Structure 1
Amino acid sequence: MKKFLLLTAVAVIGMSAKAQEFRFGPKAGFAMSTLKIDQNQDDLGKRNMDPKYTFYIGGMAEYKINDNFGFQAEVLYSPLGGKEKIDGVNVGIMYVGEKTEVNLGTLLVPVSAKYFITEGFSVAAGANFGVIFSAKQKTVIGSDFMNVEVEGDSGEVDIKDDIKKLNIAPFVGVEYMLENGLFFDARYSLGVSNLSNDGSGGKVTNSFAQIGVGFKFGGN
Structure 2
Amino acid sequence: MKGVFFLITSLLFISVTGLYAQDEDKVLYTRAGFKFGANYANITGDIKDTDARVRMHLGAVIEFPVSQRFFVQAEVLYSAQGYKFKEEGIENKISLNYLTLPIIAKYYFTDKFSLETGPQIATLANAAESGKDTPDEFFDSFKNFDFSWNLGAGYKLESGLFFQLRYNLGLTNINDLDTPDINFNHSVTQLSVGYLFKTKNNRRQNEEF
| Smaller-chain TM-score bracket | 0.7 to 0.9
Letter aligned with residue 71 of structure 2: G
Q: 2:120 aligned with 1:128, yes or no?
A: yes
2:171 aligns with 192
- For the aligned residue pairs, the C-alpha RMSD in angstroms reads 2.0
The CA deviation string for residues 23-56 of structure 1, in whole angstroms up to 9 with x for no partner, is 1101101111002241xxxxxxx41520010011
1:169 aligns to what? 148
The residue aligned with 2:17 is none
Please give the alpha-carbon distance, in whole angstroms, between the structure 1 residues aligned to 2:35 and 2:44: 27
SS in 1 for 2:140: helix
Check whether the contact 1:169–1:207 (CA below 8 A) recurs between aligned residues: no
Alignment partner, residue 145 of structure 1:
none
**1:212 corresponds to:** 192
Whole-angstrom distance in 1 between the partners of 2:135 and 2:30: 44
Stretches of structure 2 that go unaligned for 5 or more consecutive residues are 1-22, 204-209
- The partner residue of 1:119 within 111, 124, 128 is 111
| Partners of 1:163 and 1:17 in 2: CA distance | 50
Q: Which residue of 1 aligns with 2:81?
A: 80
What percent identity do the matched residue pairs reach?
Answer: 30
**Letter paired with 1:177:** K
Q: How far is the alpha carbon of 1:17 from its aligned partner?
A: 8.7
Aligned residue pair count: 176
Measure how far apart 1:203 and its partner are: 1.0
The runs of 4+ residues in structure 1 deviating greater than 3 Å are 15-20
Give the Å deviation of 1:61.
0.5
Cα deviations by residue, 1:82-127 (Å, 9 ceiling, x for unpaired): 01135xxxxxxxxx61211111121111111111111211111001
- Structure 1: runs of 5 or more not aligned: 1-14, 39-45, 87-95, 140-149
Within the candidate set 161, 169, 172, 1:182 is matched to 161
* Secondary structure at the counterpart of residue 160 of structure 1: helix
